[in-house]
């Protein structure tokens, strides 16, 4: 679809009964967006102001939650505009930008969880070497890799799609934001994009996952052989990360496979899964860390008590 200004517009066609429920959609998603910003920012704020939370594990948690804010901000404002529009559309460049942010932030979470796994491994299995192995420089290196590597991998297909002359077979995006579903718009996805996409999945999703699984397996084996106190520490600090990893993996499997099963996937089910990605995941992370991490929960409880008193 073209409005005569040489800008391609795509119709966002993943909603169910949008005209009938557009105000319901708007108020629910507006409330969800405010909640996501407040919940994630609160935990980041607590980590920022309390010196006892200036440890590698909490710094990685703060980075993970900042990712949720960035990711949500790249999607929600446009969603809210679409809900109130007569015809929800997005320009092709804006769609590619959403695609870039989505596939920078998502894999970045795998890298941050891998950094947390390494941190827990050193803390539990090599406590005497922890100050040497988790220096400030190492933390900065992990954060840099977690943000730079996925962004680089995401930039490659976006650059290829921007610079390559692609042919659109339709302009109806079967989703509510631009993820893998954009490939269904093309008559044929450029081969370099397909080949690089397979490599990227392996490099920024599968490899970090294998590292995480290997690391936590080692932690489990060593803590099982150790005293009760070590086992308790391992359970308290590792279980929130594993829960977040499980949620992220499930949503990633759906996102990777949706293009292949697009024609057989009901519209309502597709909408529910899309809402899981943009609503459930950014909201559940601060709740998991806010209530499952003992030190964060302690400061959060104190903050809520102070708010009540005022």
Structural domain count of the chain = 1
Give the residue numbers spanning the domain of 96. 9-309
Q: Are 56 and 9 in contact (CB under 8 A)?
A: no
In this structure, is residue 2 part of a structural domain?
no
Rounded Cα gap, residues 17 and 40, in angstroms: 31
pLDDT at 290: 84
Rounded Cα gap, residues 291 and 239, in angstroms: 12
In this structure, is residue 4 part of a structural domain?
no
**What pTM, to 2 d.p., does this model score?**
0.90
Q: What is the CATH number of the domain that holds 129?
A: 1.20.1070.10
pLDDT at 4: 44
Cβ atoms within 10 Å, residue 194: 12
In this structure, is residue 281 part of a structural domain?
yes
In this structure, is residue 240 part of a structural domain?
yes
Residue 59 pLDDT > 90, yes or no? Answer: yes
In this structure, is residue 1 part of a structural domain?
no
In this structure, is residue 3 part of a structural domain?
no
Q: Are 283 and 32 in contact (CB under 8 A)?
A: yes
Query: Are β-strands 172-173 and 9-12 bridged in parallel, bridged antiparallel, or unpaired?
Result: parallel
Residue 174 pLDDT > 70, yes or no? Answer: yes
List pLDDT tens digits, range 240-294.
888 888 888 888 887 777 666 655 667 787 888 888 888 888 888 888 888 888 8
Rounded Cα gap, residues 98 and 179, in angstroms: 7
In this structure, is residue 211 part of a structural domain?
yes
Q: Are 89 and 12 in contact (CB under 8 A)?
A: yes
Rounded Cα gap, residues 171 and 160, in angstroms: 19
In this structure, is residue 269 part of a structural domain?
yes
List pLDDT tens digits, range 183-236.
888 888 888 888 898 898 899 999 999 999 999 888 888 887 777 777 777 777
pLDDT at 274: 82
């Amino acid at each position: 679809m073209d409005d005569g200004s040489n800008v391609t517009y795509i119709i966002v066609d993943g909603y169910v009964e949008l005209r009938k429920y557009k105000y319901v959609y708007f108020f629910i998603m507006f409330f969800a967006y405010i909640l996501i910003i407040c919940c994630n920012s609160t935990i980041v704020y607590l980590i920022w102001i309390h010196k006892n939370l200036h440890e590698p594990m909490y710094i990685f948690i703060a980075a993970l939650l900042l990712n949720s804010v960035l990711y949500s901000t790249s999607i929600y404002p446009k969603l809210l505009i679409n809900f109130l529009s007569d015809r929800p559309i997005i320009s092709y460049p804006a769609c590619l930008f959403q695609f870039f942010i989505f596939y920078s932030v998502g894999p970045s979470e795998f890298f941050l969880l891998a950094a947390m796994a390494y941190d827990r491994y050193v803390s539990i299995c090599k406590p005497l070497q922890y100050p040497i192995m988790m220096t400030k420089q190492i933390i900065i290196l992990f954060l840099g890799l977690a943000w730079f590597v996925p962004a680089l991998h995401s930039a490659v297909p976006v650059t290829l799609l921007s610079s390559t002359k692609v042919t659109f077979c339709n302009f109806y995006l079967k989703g509510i934001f631009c993820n893998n579903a954009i490939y269904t718009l093309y008559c044929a996805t450029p081969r370099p994009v397909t080949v690089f996409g397979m490599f990227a999945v392996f490099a920024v999703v599968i490899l970090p996952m294998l590292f995480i699984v290997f690391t936590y397996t080692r932690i489990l084996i060593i803590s099982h052989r150790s005293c009760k106190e070590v086992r308790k520490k391992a359970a308290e600090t590792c279980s929130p990360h594993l829960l977040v990893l499980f949620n992220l993996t499930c949503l990633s499997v759906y996102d990777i496979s949706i293009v292949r099963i697009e024609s057989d996937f009901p519209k309502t089910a597709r909408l529910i899964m899309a809402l899981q990605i943009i609503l459930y995941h950014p909201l559940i992370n601060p709740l998991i860390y806010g209530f499952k991490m003992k030190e964060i929960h302690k400061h959060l409880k104190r903050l809520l008590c102070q708010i009540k008193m005022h």
